[in-house]
């Protein structure tokens, strides 16, 4: 598990691909949500034990559902249609390699187990697809993938925030912050091989002939 602020710089695609799923966090846009967060923080600082006790029952129920889902994972398999659907989403997103396919299938199986389903369906893949593709999406991709069926099919809705990719996917240069290539000369920037992300073209350096290195000081007797 890792966190990052895209405003402080982007990670190389090779590193982003190492993360299985990504979630975009946004600041609350309404006053009610901000007040609820602040009140919860103040309550925890005043009496942490009371806050833990207040949510103990819900926490125990969540733990039990996760334990039950882990036990059911081995009995859930992916059909050919599910694997084909995941591959199609990865190709449409323009990702490199097959790590995105593997992450989507494993996340879909985990969701099916958490929902106590007896099989992994295409709807499960659609629900987790954007979490696996958002930070891997290529520049020429078709855009975020939506669910194949109607929303809430089989009582299941996509996770919150899955419809919008995080800001770290396919970053576009900001007007106030030029892209790395903007400071390079037009002729020299074409020398860098296409696809070599982050490479800098060689710059000529002036050299001067050294005629003398100077005399060594005499040693003391």
Domain assignment present for residue 57? The answer is: no
pLDDT tens sequence across 52-70? 999 999 999 999 999 999 9
Residue 67 lies in a domain: no
Task: Indicate the average pLDDT of the chain.
Answer: 77
Note whether residue 152 is domain-resident.
yes
Long-range pairs for 161-164: beta carbons < 8 A, 24 or more residues apart: 161/23, 161/24, 162/127, 162/128, 162/129, 162/130, 162/131, 163/130, 164/24, 164/130
**Could you list the residue range(s) of the whole structural domain that residue 97 is in?**
75-171
What are the pLDDT digits (tens) for 155-166? 344 444 444 444
Residues 157, 99: Cα–Cα separation, whole Å: 24
Provide the number of structural domains found in the chain: 1
Per-residue pLDDT reduced to its tens digit, 87-122? 999 999 999 889 999 999 999 999 999 999 999 999
Task: Evaluate whether residue 202 is within a structural domain.
Answer: no
Task: Please state, in angstroms and rounded to a whole number, the distance separating the CA atoms of residues 56 and 53.
Answer: 5
Contact 181, 189 (CB under 8 A): yes
pTM over 0.75: no
* Domain assignment present for 38: no
Residue 160 domain-assigned? yes
Assigned domain for 128 exists: yes
Least confident of 33-37, 94-98, 111-115, 135-139: 135-139
CB 131 within 8 A of CB 90: no
Percent of the chain with pLDDT over 70: 67
In contact, 17 and 136? CB cutoff 8 Å = yes
Q: CATH code at 139?
A: 1.10.8.80
Report, as residue numbers or ranges, the catalytic residues. Answer: 99
Locate 214 and state its tokens: 């100077």
Q: CA-CA distance, 133 to 150, in Å (whole number)?
A: 21
Q: Is residue 132 part of a domain?
A: yes
> Where is mean pLDDT largest: 5-19, 93-107, 147-161?
93-107
């Amino acid at each position: 598990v890792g966190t990052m602020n895209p405003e402080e710089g982007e990670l190389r695609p090779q590193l982003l691909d190492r993360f299985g799923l990504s979630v975009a966090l946004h600041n609350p846009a309404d006053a009610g949500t901000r007040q609820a967060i602040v009140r919860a923080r103040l309550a925890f600082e005043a009496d942490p034990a009371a806050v833990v006790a207040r949510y103990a029952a819900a926490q125990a129920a969540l733990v039990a559902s996760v334990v039950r889902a882990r036990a059911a994972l081995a009995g859930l398999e992916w059909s050919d249609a599910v694997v084909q659907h995941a591959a199609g989403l990865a190709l449409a997103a323009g990702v490199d390699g097959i790590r995105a396919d593997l992450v989507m299938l494993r996340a879909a199986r985990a969701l099916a187990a958490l929902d106590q389903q007896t099989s992994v369906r295409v709807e499960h893949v659609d629900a987790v697809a954007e979490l696996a593709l958002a930070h891997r999406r290529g520049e020429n991709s078709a855009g975020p993938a939506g669910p194949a069926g109607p929303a809430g099919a089989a009582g299941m809705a996509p996770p919150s925030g899955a419809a919008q990719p995080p800001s770290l996917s396919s970053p576009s240069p900001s007007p106030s912050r030029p892209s790395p290539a903007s400071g390079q000369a037009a002729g020299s920037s074409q020398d860098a091989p296409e696809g070599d992300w982050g490479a800098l073209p060689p710059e000529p350096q002036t050299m001067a002939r050294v005629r003398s290195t100077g005399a060594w000081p005499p040693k003391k007797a």
